[in-house]
Amino acid sequence: MIHSLFLINCSGDIFLEKHWKSVVSQSVCDYFFEAQEKAADVENVPPVISTPHHYLISIYRDKLFFVSVIQTEVPPLFVIEFLHRVADTFQDYFGECSEAAIKDNVVIVYELLEEMLDNGFPLATESNILKELIKPPTILRSVVNSITGSSNVGDTLPTGQLSNIPWRRAGVKYTNNEAYFDVVEEIDAIIDKSGSTVFAEIQGVIDACIKLSGMPDLSLSFMNPRLLDDVSFHPCIRFKRWESERILSFIPPDGNFRLISYRVSSQNLVAIPVYVKHSISFKENSSCGRFDITIGPKQNMGKTIEGITVTVHMPKVVLNMNLTTTQGSYTFDPVTKVLTWDVGKITPQKLPSLKGLVNLQSGAPKPEENPSLNIQFKIQQLAISGLKVNRLDMYGEKYKPFKGVKYVTKAGKFQVRT
């Protein structure tokens, strides 16, 4: 299925390759480089490239390309999902998925790839199972290893693979039994010039961290389950029970996992927690322009909005920007033309603003279009859709677990057109 994998960095070096069947020469990547050259920007390299004898399916993650070579007809989503899983695993093991981290841990990377795929087919990809096969590197462990000479490879087979329930290992034991749920919602929105919503949608997930002994059987109910438009489930959830009673009933995997992901779409009204007042203008036939934006809270349900950052890709003709801000700090990179304003928290008494002059290349025509603003923010203890967990019950075990639910709302692709 997946013949070979090449890891390529932004400057076009192939710094790692792995072949699961016969060796495919590096020259196959030339087609990829060709496409990269044509795309001008690294972001724009198409994910599927055809060559005379192969298909190259690639993903772009953290400034790295994972390029897989395919020789038979495959479901493309399957390969893309798998490549993302590989990247996730690296992230999980090394804390970051970067060229340096991969090069430092090249031996572990090979071990991982060997276990994740055999003969081109995915085998073990669950993080907790992999971690029992190959222990992740830690500073402490590498010190211990170097003293005792022990290895970071488990000597025993992962027990999870022998359990009746594939996602949970048998014989789990904890002294403190805890179950935590994080309800994380991201708002994707496009706001037009006048401040009205062109498009808005909430993408939500419930991530769980379950540390419970034995074989607990949990059921989680919501105050308002009808809110959820379109839900996809972790395989552990009993689907029939959800369909009939709108209750999530499941035997959880051990450790961290994503319980459900859901969507609350434009049919229901999506609250937009911030507004932006903006005036950006470039004068005809002069080499300067004005820039003025102010951010304020709106529909924030009484919670504080924090962690605000505004990113603006200014037009190419902008040379420099002279701005003053009432709050936070800003940077402008004259090479990439990206303006970043780190705002922080909004205090309703004094709204943060950023204004000043824009210097343009002299003689160049004035930009046709104003730039869009990309906004990041975070609201703690609030699920903007209004979703609330009602209760969590546990069956099958006798002890009393500690339970907790945390809510957080973030901006996803939140964009304001000016």
Partner 1 sequence: MPYLGSEDVVKELKKALCNPHIQADRLRYRNVIQRVIRYMTQGLDMSGVFMEMVKASATVDIVQKKLVYLYMCTYAPLKPDLALLAINTLCKDCSDPNPMVRGLALRSMCSLRMPGVQEYIQQPILNGLRDKASYVRRVAVLGCAKMHNLHGDSEVDGALVNELYSLLRDQDPIVVVNCLRSLEEILKLEGGVVINKPIAHHLLNRMSKLDQWGQAEVLNFLLRYQPRSEEELFDILNLLDSFLKSSSPGVVMGATKLFLILAKKFPHVQTDVLVRVKGPLLAACSSESRELCFVALCHVRQILHSLPGHFSSHYKKFFCSYSEPHYIKLQKVEVLCELVNDENVQQVLEELRGYCTDVSADFAQSAIFAIGGIARTYTDQCVQILTELLGLRQEHITTVVVQTFRDLVWLCPQCTEAVCQALPGCEENIQDSEGKQALIWLLGVHGERIPNAPYVLEDFVENVKSETFPAVKMELLTALLRLFLSRPAECQDMLGRLLYYCIEEEKDMAVRDRGLFYYRLLLVGIDEVKRILCSPKSDPTLGLLEDPAERPVNSWASDFNTLVPVYGKAHWATISKCQGAERCGPELPKTSSFAASGPLIPEDNKEREQELPDSGALMLVPNRQLTADYFEKTWLSLKVAHQQVLPWRGEFHPDTLQMALQVVNIQTIAMSRAGTRPWKAYLSAQDDTGCLFLTELLLEPENSEMQISVKQNEARTETLNSFISVLETVIGTIEEIKS
Which residues from 177-216 bind partner 1, rule CB under 8 A? 188, 190, 198-199, 201, 203
Nearer to partner 1, 5 or 346 (CB): 5
> Binder to partner 1 among 10, 143, 144, 157 (CB under 8 A)?
157
- 141 in contact with partner 1 (CB under 8 A): no
Tell me which residue of 20, 50, 31, 49 sits closest to 58, measured CA to CA. Answer: 49
- 313 in contact with partner 1 (CB under 8 A): yes
Cβ-contact 261, 248 below 8 angstroms: no
Q: Residue-wise over 257-276: b if at least 16 C-beta within 10 A, else e?
A: bebbbbebeeeeebbbbbbb
What part of residues 314-333 is at the interface with partner 1 (CB under 8 A)? Answer: 315-316
Stretch that binds partner 1, among 10-18, 215-223, 287-295, 349-357 (CB under 8 A): 10-18
CB of 26 to partner 1, least distance (A): 8
Q: Show the site string, 80-109: x = touches partner 1 by CB under 8 A, - = not.
A: xxxxx---------------------xx--
What part of residues 261-290 is at the interface with partner 1 (CB under 8 A)? Answer: 261, 263, 265-266
- 31 in contact with partner 1 (CB under 8 A): no
CB of 270 to partner 1, least distance (A): 11
- 247 in contact with partner 1 (CB under 8 A): no
CB of 160 to partner 1, least distance (A): 11
Nearer to partner 1, 351 or 367 (CB): 367
CB of 239 to partner 1, least distance (A): 4
Distance, first Cα to last Cα, the chain = 47
d(CA 116, CA 97): 17
Type of residue at 136: P
CB of 402 to partner 1, least distance (A): 27
d(CA 252, CA 402): 15
Tell me which residue of 34, 43, 32 sits closest to 68, measured CA to CA. Answer: 32
d(CA 126, CA 156): 17
What secondary structure, in 3-state letters, does 69-118 show? EECCCCCHHHHHHHHHHHHHHHHHHHCCCCHHHHHHCHHHHHHHHHHHEE
Q: Which helix (H) or strand (E) covers residue 142, if one does? A: helix 139-148
> Binder to partner 1 among 59, 86, 293, 384 (CB under 8 A)?
59
